[in-house]
Amino acid sequence: MADYDYDVLVIGAGPGGYVAAIRAAQLGLKTACAEGRETLGGTCLNVGCIPSKAMLHASEYFEAAAGGAMAAMGIKVKPELDLGTMHGQRKDAVKGLTGGIEFLFKKNKIDWLKGYAQFTSKDSVEVAGKTYRAKNIIIATGSSVTPLPGVEVDNDKQIIVDSTGALELAKVPGHMVVIGGGVIGLELGSVWRRLGAKVTCVEYLDQILPGMDGDVRKEANKIFKKQGIEFKLKTKVTKAVVKGKKAVLTLEPAAGGEAETLEADVVLVSIGRKPNTDGLALDKAGLAVNQRGQIETDHDFSTQVPGIWAIGDVIPGPMLAHKAEDEGIACAENIAGQTGIVNHDVIPSVVYTWPEIAGVGLTEEQAKEKGEVKVGKFPMMANSRAKTNHEPDGFVKVIADAKTDRVLGVWCIASVAGTMIAQAAQAMEFGATSEDIAYTCHAHPTHSEAIKEAAMAVTGKPIHV
Ligand SMILES: Cc1cc2nc3c(=O)[nH]c(=O)nc-3n(C[C@H](O)[C@H](O)[C@H](O)COP(=O)(O)OP(=O)(O)OC[C@H]3O[C@@H](n4cnc5c(N)ncnc54)[C@H](O)[C@@H]3O)c2cc1C
């Protein structure tokens, strides 16, 4: 250790990096974490998962009051929007949680190297003019918004914005156009629709929520349409220009054809995210990125250069905070000589709209490509708790191997789908069959009973339909 400053130096303090740093320190390794942002927590805590959920949660209450859901339960209110306070509670959530990570760093004696790190060799980096040598370096630099050619984002003007700008709008737009029907666009589009904006979502593909189960995508589209979001599918945005206080977008059919224009008060560009590797001077470490700009790793998160590891959004796989966190823990454990493993086949994904949309494992389409499957479905309309709570939209779908009955995927649209999906992930992690889930006693009345009934539908019959 004599000529090393640290056993482990993590670059980036997002959910991948800060978790890796904490686990490394817990395992007795001398650890530092370089972070260029003014606060710890990365995209997730500063401009991603947490602030978006703060706005989703608050706007959900607003809509429940304004849209009649409360009146249906005998609570008559006329809500008045105080957007400043709503933004205030978002900022408080971010401040509290990012401060919490700072506390955990101190508690675990992790040095926060303030500034952006760049490699100077395969075992050293420079941060704010100072060079540090480390036995192990973990790259956890995350991702940032993918730009769209012909559409220039300027978050300060609040006309053409990315997800960070869309969290901060000072007033509710009259018309918001969301470019991209993925998770982030639908979540933030939902926030502003609930608060009063007309929302149009333009998606290049023939359906929203790419990567999710086909039934789920179709049903979600129906639900969002019912809520008032207008969709322009199979359509590409080729240009957006700011004219005064508005933006004018040029849209073209994805397959080619006549262009049309669309006017918006705010345009949200949410077509995806790209790995952050610019400025790292990877060449000095002898590392290169793949065709998608990601750093490739082995199953233990080691890169092709011994002593350099990578985790989170900067490596292949779904760009999700919990995937980054689990990789952070596993990577630190591997560095400490333990066996850290992440099962990439069982990573749940959740869209935090109303209702929530969640899935884990294979889609029905993917499962069918691999072999014969059996599918069980159960509508939330027939779940006593959802029905009582006036939450009839959605279903649960369990996909199992036709021969072995092993569960291959579970998909839910339900008010609390994000919470429900944890049991499916756990069951799959233990190699459960649909029968295992069907014969597990579920508390009544809960939304989770719909998972049990969908599992019952795989091999036999559910009770309540
Ligand atoms: C609006 C939005 C909502 C989201 N909602 C969810 C959600 O609900 N659930 C979910 O699972 N995921 C969500 N995500 C995705 C999630 O935020 C990411 O998957 C997650 O943050 C990735 O973690 P990470 O540690 O790999 O990288 P990041 O969180 O991106 O952190 C990387 C950090 O590295 C720092 N950094 C970069 N380069 C350097 C350098 N050279 N030196 C020092 N520091 C550097 C960056 O400043 C950053 O702080 C959301 C994302 C967005 C944008």
Domain ranges of the chain: 6-145+274-335, 160-271, 349-459
**Which one of the listed residues 57, 299, 444, 447 is annotated catalytic?**
444
Is domain 349-459 classified as CATH 3.30.390.30? yes
Same fold, 6-145+274-335 and 160-271: yes
| Residues 6+ positions from 180 with CB-CB distance below 8 Å | 201, 202, 203, 204, 269, 270, 271, 272
How large is the average pLDDT for residues 211-232? Answer: 98
In sign, the C-alpha dihedral spanning 404, 408, 414, 415 is positive
Neighbours of 179 (CB within 10 A): 25
Give percent of the chain with pLDDT exceeding 90: 98
Q: Is the pLDDT of residue 440 over 70?
A: yes
pLDDT digits (tens, 9 = 90+) for 26-41: 999 999 999 999 999 9
Cα(52) to centroid(ligand 1), Å: 13
In the sheet that holds 235-243, the strands lie side by side as 235-243, 246-253, 260-264
pLDDT digits (tens, 9 = 90+) for 243-283: 999 999 999 999 999 999 999 999 999 999 999 999 999 99
* Least confident range of 1-10, 37-46, 101-110: 1-10
Q: Is the pLDDT of residue 417 over 60?
A: yes
Phi, psi of 401 (to 5 degrees): -65, 130
pLDDT at 72: 87
- Whether ligand 1 lies within 6 angstroms of the CB of 177 is answered as no
CA nearest ligand 1 atom 27, residue: 142
Q: Is the pLDDT of residue 219 over 90?
A: yes
- Whether ligand 1 lies within 6 angstroms of the CB of 280 is answered as yes
The 3-state DSSP class for residue 142 equals coil
Contact 50, 97 (CB under 8 A): yes
Q: In the chain, count of helices (H) and strands (E)?
A: 14, 22
DSSP result, 187-204: HHHHHHHHTT-EEEEE-S
**What residues form DSSP beta bridges with 358?**
350, 412
- Rounded to the nearest angstrom, the gap between the alpha carbon of residue 118 and the centroid of all alpha carbons in its chain is 27
Cα(172) to centroid(ligand 1), Å: 26
**Binning pLDDT at 50, 70 and 90, where does residue 460 land?**
confident
Q: Is the pLDDT of residue 46 over 80?
A: yes
CA nearest ligand 1 atom 42, residue: 116
pLDDT at 208: 98
Between strands 407-414 and 260-264, the pairing is unpaired
Contacts 24+ apart (CB under 8 A), 260-264: 262/177, 262/200, 262/202, 263/175, 264/173, 264/175, 264/176, 264/177, 264/200
Which ligand 1 atom is nearest residue 44's CA? 17
- For a substitution probing ligand 1, which of 9, 22, 44 has the most ligand atoms within 8 Å of its CB? 44
Q: In the CATH scheme, what is the homologous superfamily, with its name and number, of domain 160-271?
A: FAD/NAD(P)-binding domain (3.50.50.60)
pLDDT digits (tens, 9 = 90+) for 49-103: 999 999 999 999 999 999 878 888 999 999 999 999 999 999 999 999 999 999 9
As a CATH number, domain 6-145+274-335 is 3.50.50.60
pLDDT digits (tens, 9 = 90+) for 304-347: 999 999 999 999 999 999 999 999 999 999 999 999 999 999 99
Phi, psi of 264 (to 5 degrees): -145, 150
* Catalytic residue check, 444: yes
- Whether ligand 1 lies within 6 angstroms of the CB of 12 is answered as yes
- Whether ligand 1 lies within 6 angstroms of the CB of 279 is answered as yes
Between strands 111-114 and 31-35, the pairing is parallel
Residue with tokens 């369990």: 398
Six token digits for residue 322: 């919990």
pLDDT digits (tens, 9 = 90+) for 94-137: 999 999 999 999 999 999 999 999 999 999 999 999 999 999 99
**What residues form DSSP beta bridges with 148?**
151
**Binning pLDDT at 50, 70 and 90, where does residue 2 land?**
low
Which ligand 1 atom is nearest residue 34's CA? 43
pLDDT digits (tens, 9 = 90+) for 391-406: 999 999 999 999 999 9
